[in-house]
Structure 1
Amino acid sequence: MWESFRTLFKNYLRLEKSLSDHSIQAYIRDVEKLEQYLQANGKEKLRPQDVTLEDLQKCIHWIFELGMSATSQARIISGIKAFYKFLMLEDMIKDDPSQLLETPRTTRKLPDVLTFDEIEQMIAAIDLIEMDAKGHEKVSLEGHRNKAILETMYSCGMRVSEVTSLQISQVYLDVSFVKVIGKGDKERIIPLGSAARKEIIHYLERVRPQFPVKYGDEDTLFLNRRGRALSRVMIFLIIKELAEKAGITKNVSPHTFRHSFATHLVEGGADLRVVQEMLGHESITTTEIYTHIDREFLRDTLRQFHPRF
């Protein structure tokens, strides 16, 4: 019974909202949580249009008792609200039971940010030379690829999924710009810094030609040793390993480079609208988190240098 509604919702998210498969799966999981609650409490015969606000409130309480954080609860509520908004748009229900469903308060945790020195330490930790089977030194193809990846991430503030899907045809080295396909297949143009441009040119000319390119990935910029596009998990592991080698104890992930890119721009006085455009944020509210980080930076500076602070 719910499956047909989920299928229609999935098609709506893909065709009307142009969401990625990853985002669509997240929304569907949220709806499935509601189904699981109904099944666990003897209400499996309820159709989506029969669910009441009280049912939804009890579902959220059930989720809370499972030990889920306020952030996870808020995520599920958001998905359920989107599902019922879709049902209203399609005239499948007359009243939206999720309209008065309250989202638990979540504290916005500021992400860890790397200093410029820490980013340089991580890049310096990349092994550009490795030993072959006979103990002779040789150029590390993966090391030079990883250096190009990190320089690109810090230069452009791209999401890890945008890095893994970046195509050679989207990199305009002659004018130092990259075209990024972000969430909802929205395009944006980002300037490419000189350090990133240099490493990409070296990678394209000296490194990538030595990877065995597989069918379907001829235009993919960053490849693994088998000639396929890198996975997000692989980039996560590369960055974790480099942070450890550089002696950085912060919680570092690919997204840390995106946060650091934005924070350093704001600290340097960049206009928030420009930062929003380069990050691909739909709302300026999302970008405003970096003004909070900027205030922390100012406070730390005062603590360090002001005699009366």
Structure 2
Amino acid sequence: MDDSNRIHINNLPLNKNISDLMKPTLNKIDLVQQFLNNPSYTSDLESFIDDNERQKQYLYKNFTDEMMMYTFVHKPSHIQEEYNKKEETKKEYIRDLLQFYGMLVSHEEFFKEDVVDFTEGSLLKNLDRRHVRRYQEWLKNEAPLRNRKIGYSIATMARKIVVIKSFLKWLHEVEYIKIPLHMAFLNNEVRMKDRPDRDLSYVEAKALIDYYQNHPFNHALLTLLATTGLRIQEIAQGRWCDLYYDSGIGEYYFRVQGKRDEIRHALIKKLVFERLQTLRVRRRLSPHLDPTDKTPLFTTNRGKAYDFRDLSKYVTNIIKQTNFDFIKYKQGNVTPHWFRHYFAQEAHRSGAPLLFIQNTLGHKKVTTTEIYLKEIMKKENDAAQYIDEKKY
């Protein structure tokens, strides 16, 4: 493969309107982002790899840093497509990789001074362990966030590091870089004490639901979250046809596709179903069960499906707008995810076995479910409850 066949990041055939993409307002990272988000190059890069293999050359000969990032994000890992990375997962990978690579690009001149025998044409090949550690420190202490805070939380930082470590490990495995940089990160495991409390009492959850009893959309959405423990993403992608009545059991169910494409059937209480029907009537949609009705479970005012991020922000905002005193004392914003914790705790208080709660929430490991219940179980296991207060 000669250089004429290379995909150069400054001359990417992103689409037919390439002239629009080359406007001065677009910097290198903007172009890289558009490149990584465009799935049409997968077959081209695979052909380059095949050509190199055919010629008994290094598989990634003439690949740029950007091409390596693209391959890492889009390369299939399983023969069955449904087991490969989902689009949302790819977007998350791209976001974290771009943040990492953007830092490298913005400090290119520093690398040229700091690295002995700097290799032109690649920033990743010039990385050393100290640079990786410095990036981890930047995430912790210097990264500017939208809410004007500095530095990511331990949990967010840990999630980002997982992606970068995986990428660097792969680069080393395929011999694109010589140093096992993924081993340079300091341990950033999220310990139990570092996890924020996301506890809502029954009184608090009920107060939030009742506050919006005259608002069909909010009322149905908050009730659904509290009584099912569903993820906001599962709700956002849900359709009316996913609701059905099981005559054998005598209950309504909502078919959801969770993480790892696992199908779960969430029990929908009759009260919740009625509130969903009220919302449907308000939206001028049929409230009757229909296996052919593919309209979203929760629609925008224009009848479209919500992006789960937008729906999550919406829930966070309507909770904040209640101005309840207890909201002010919580650790951070009360988000939809708090209701998963609430559901687990309320189910536990009501006598549900731990295994039932795990299966309902779709947790792969029971230890994850135990995290949701850590505080309530501590209180239940408090030895002081065995002391008879009448003795004093």
TM-score normalised by L of structure 1: 0.77
Match of 2:166 in 1: 82
Counterparts in 2 of 1:112 and 1:82: CA distance versus 1, 3 Å: same
Contact map agreement 2:65 2:122 (CA 8 A) in 1 = no
Gap regions ≥5 residues in structure 1: 129-142, 212-216
- When the two chains are superposed, the root-mean-square deviation of aligned CA atoms in Å is 3.4
Counterparts in 2 of 1:295 and 1:82: CA distance versus 1, 3 Å: same
Say which SS state the counterpart of residue 337 (structure 2) adopts.
helix
Counterpart check, 1:6 vs 2:65: no
TM-score normalised by L of structure 2: 0.62
Quote how far apart the aligned CAs of 1:207 are: 2.6
Counterpart check, 1:117 vs 2:183: no
Contact map agreement 1:148 1:196 (CA 8 A) in 2 = yes
- Residue by residue over 1:169-207, the C-alpha shift from the partner in whole angstroms, topping out at 9 and shown as x without a partner, is 111134411111223433222222232123223434x33
Name the amino acid aligned to 2:111.
Answer: G
- Residue by residue over 1:226-275, the C-alpha shift from the partner in whole angstroms, topping out at 9 and shown as x without a partner, is 22224322233233324x26864444221111110012123334333322
Contact map agreement 2:256 2:263 (CA 8 A) in 1 = yes
Q: How far, CA to CA, are the matches of 2:383 and 2:317 in structure 1?
A: 33
Quote how far apart the aligned CAs of 1:277 are: 1.9
Look at both structures and tell me which one has the larger radius of gyration over its CA atoms: 2
Counterpart check, 1:275 vs 2:346: no
Q: How many residues align?
A: 287
Contact map agreement 2:243 2:255 (CA 8 A) in 1 = yes
Equivalences for residues 40-55 of structure 1 within 5 A: 40=107, 41-43=110-112, 45-48=121-124, 51-55=127-131
Percent identity of the aligned residues? 25
Counterparts in 2 of 1:148 and 1:286: CA distance versus 1, 3 Å: same
Q: How far, CA to CA, are the matches of 2:96 and 2:300 in structure 1?
A: 33
Q: Which moved more, 1:57-66 or 1:91-100?
A: 91-100
Match of 2:95 in 1: 29
- Residue by residue over 1:107-143, the C-alpha shift from the partner in whole angstroms, topping out at 9 and shown as x without a partner, is 4324332212222222221152xxxxxxxxxxxxxx1
Q: How far, CA to CA, are the matches of 2:262 and 2:244 in structure 1?
A: 18
Match of 2:272 in 1: 196
Match of 2:187 in 1: 103
Quote how far apart the aligned CAs of 1:50 are: 5.2
Counterpart check, 1:68 vs 2:151: yes
- Residue by residue over 1:252-305, the C-alpha shift from the partner in whole angstroms, topping out at 9 and shown as x without a partner, is 2211111100121233343333222222223333222023122244268957x9
Quote how far apart the aligned CAs of 1:160 are: 1.4
Say which SS state the counterpart of residue 266 (structure 1) adopts.
helix
Quote how far apart the aligned CAs of 1:49 are: 5.1
Match of 1:234 in 2: 314
Counterparts in 2 of 1:105 and 1:245: CA distance versus 1, 3 Å: closer
Q: How far, CA to CA, are the matches of 1:13 and 1:254 in structure 2?
A: 32
Match 1:173 to one of 245, 249, 256 = 245
- Residue by residue over 1:143-179, the C-alpha shift from the partner in whole angstroms, topping out at 9 and shown as x without a partner, is 1222221111111101112212211111113441111
Name the amino acid aligned to 1:290.
Answer: Y
Contact map agreement 2:76 2:84 (CA 8 A) in 1 = yes
Q: Which moved more, 1:181-190 or 1:256-265?
A: 181-190
Q: How far, CA to CA, are the matches of 2:325 and 2:210 in structure 1?
A: 8
Counterpart check, 1:19 vs 2:19: no
